[in-house]
Amino acid sequence: MCLAHGLRRAGVDVAVYERDRTRATGLHGYRVGIDPHGSRALKACLPPELYRTFVATCAKPPERFAFLDEHLRRTLTITLREPTDDVNDEKSVSRMTLRQVLFTAMEDVLHFDKTFIRYRHEPDGRVTACFADGTSDTGDVLVGADGVNSPVRRQRLPHARLEDAGIVAVAAKVPMTLESTSLMPEGLFPGIGLVLAPRGMACILHWMEFPWAADGRPKAGIGSSDRELLAAWPGLLFDNTRDYLNWGLSASTDKFPADVMQRSGADLVRLVTAMTPRWDARLHRLFALTDASTCFPINIRTSVRVDPWPTDNVTLLGDAIHTMTPGQGVGANTALRDAHNLVRALTSGRPVLDALRDYERDMIEYGFKAVEASKRQTGGDQLVHRPVLGRVALAAQRTFLRATDRIPLLKRRFEAGLYEVRGTET
Ligand SMILES: Cc1cc2nc3c(=O)[nH]c(=O)nc-3n(C[C@H](O)[C@H](O)[C@H](O)COP(=O)(O)OP(=O)(O)OC[C@H]3O[C@@H](n4cnc5c(N)ncnc54)[C@H](O)[C@@H]3O)c2cc1C
């Protein structure tokens, strides 16, 4: 959708085909962190008012990032920099809300309930996309932005492979109430908590507080221009997002029962509680307060690097070509970066195939670099998942985090690395 906005603003004729039946269907997960790379792409591609709506619909920005142990004791706290502008900061957004923003004012080019199945090249070189309902559409370029199981990729690059990262995650939402918020360590929120625990278990905690109330009306106390933007934005009619805490527990696949991917709801919440017997009672209470209907398992996969391929007029972006583990929280941001680069290439005035070749050359480089860095951070083959060595690795990790918390030079280095990955301008 970011690509479609950017191309359309540049006067290119675009059509988007989405398999979801309506703009509000599908479970696309809960929270996504948008970093400066992602914001820069959105700002460049979206109409200015829609970009402002995107900013106005984000949750309260995270002010800190804290590493915790399983007793909710902090090992390292990073205070995130104050935003310098509406791009150079960390944003927390609900995936459903971001989708609603991106669908806004695109009704005439967006076709729902269209499942892509294959493409073919026409004698004049143009490309036709065929859909499961028997319809098709022909254009000069086809971009597969169809996610991890991309049928466009399977046809275009049949040799491209995905592998299991050896990690399973379970994610869920807890309604934000006085009780649920009081369970978290003081001063953690608004922010992000990451529990690193024995047996390679990790649990991410996100605070998602929106500028609209349970009845969907803009809350009192938010700026008047944001109030006006929200009141005028038709997307709020389709958005079902209310304040929540989002938790996501992950561990290597062997720590979960073999049938974890078939489990759901309350069963999964019970499983997570049983897997963490020595964790703090506040975390167990948080699990107990979970809206069980929101709980689902994810088998984390990662793309295997593909060598550059001969360019034609079918290309790929985002997870369709470089799926990555959530280790660095940059998968969506890299997809947005692709969209921005592709808009620039296709509107540069150069011959289309030259533009696509340059786009693919750069995208393969930074995309797979991000895949590999994410896997190093969250992969089932990491030392922390091993039976005995894992304890040693966790102890070393905690010592490093505590030392970094106390020694300003180390902390500055740690922060600089974090900001560099996320494209922050300093
Ligand atoms: C637990 C978890 C946490 C994450 N957190 C972050 C984070 O904080 N920050 C971050 O940057 N990234 C994060 N990511 C990664 C991020 O979710 C993905 O990288 C991102 O969604 C990829 O976007 P995409 O547009 O390429 O694909 P998708 O978001 O998967 O979108 C693909 C679209 O194509 C449609 N589609 C699929 N098949 C077809 C078809 N055959 N025909 C028509 N339409 C089709 C789908 O319905 C969907 O709308 C996380 C991932 C996980 C698993």
pLDDT, tens digit (0-9, with 9 covering 90-100), for 163-195:
999 999 999 999 989 999 999 988 888 889 999
Looking at residue 225, its pLDDT comes to: 80
Segment 263-275 mean pLDDT: 95
Percent of the chain whose predicted confidence (pLDDT) is above 70: 100
State which ligand 1 atom lies nearest to the alpha carbon of 131. Answer: 42
* Selection from 341, 291, 300 nearest residue 317 by Cα: 341
pLDDT at 426 over 90: no
3-state secondary structure of 40: helix
Across the chain, mean pLDDT equals 93
Query: pLDDT-derived band of residue 203, with 50, 70 and 90 as boundaries?
Result: very high
C-alpha 338 to ligand 1 mean position (Å): 13
* Selection from 154, 161, 149 nearest residue 306 by Cα: 161
Segment 130-134 mean pLDDT: 98
Segment 206-225 mean pLDDT: 82
C-alpha 95 to ligand 1 mean position (Å): 9
Q: Whose CA is nearest to atom 31 of ligand 1?
A: 147
pLDDT at 52 over 90: yes
Query: pLDDT-derived band of residue 425, with 50, 70 and 90 as boundaries?
Result: confident
Looking at residue 321, its pLDDT comes to: 98
* Selection from 336, 421, 380 nearest residue 65 by Cα: 421
Looking at residue 140, its pLDDT comes to: 98
Alpha carbon of 387 to those of 166, 168, 243, 379: distances in Å? 15, 17, 38, 15
C-alpha 146 to ligand 1 mean position (Å): 8
Region of 221 (left: φ > 0; alpha: ψ -120 to 50; beta: rest) is left
- Greater pLDDT, 313 or 228: 313
Q: Whose CA is nearest to atom 53 of ligand 1?
A: 326
Report the pocket of ligand 1 as residue ranges, CB < 6 Å: 17-20, 26, 29, 32-33, 114-116, 145-147, 151, 169, 171, 248, 298, 318-320, 326, 329-333, 335
Segment 416-424 mean pLDDT: 85
- Greater pLDDT, 53 or 235: 53
Looking at residue 310, its pLDDT comes to: 97
In 36-109, DSSP assigns E strands to 64-68, 74-79, 91-94
Query: pLDDT-derived band of residue 24, with 50, 70 and 90 as boundaries?
Result: confident
Looking at residue 6, its pLDDT comes to: 98
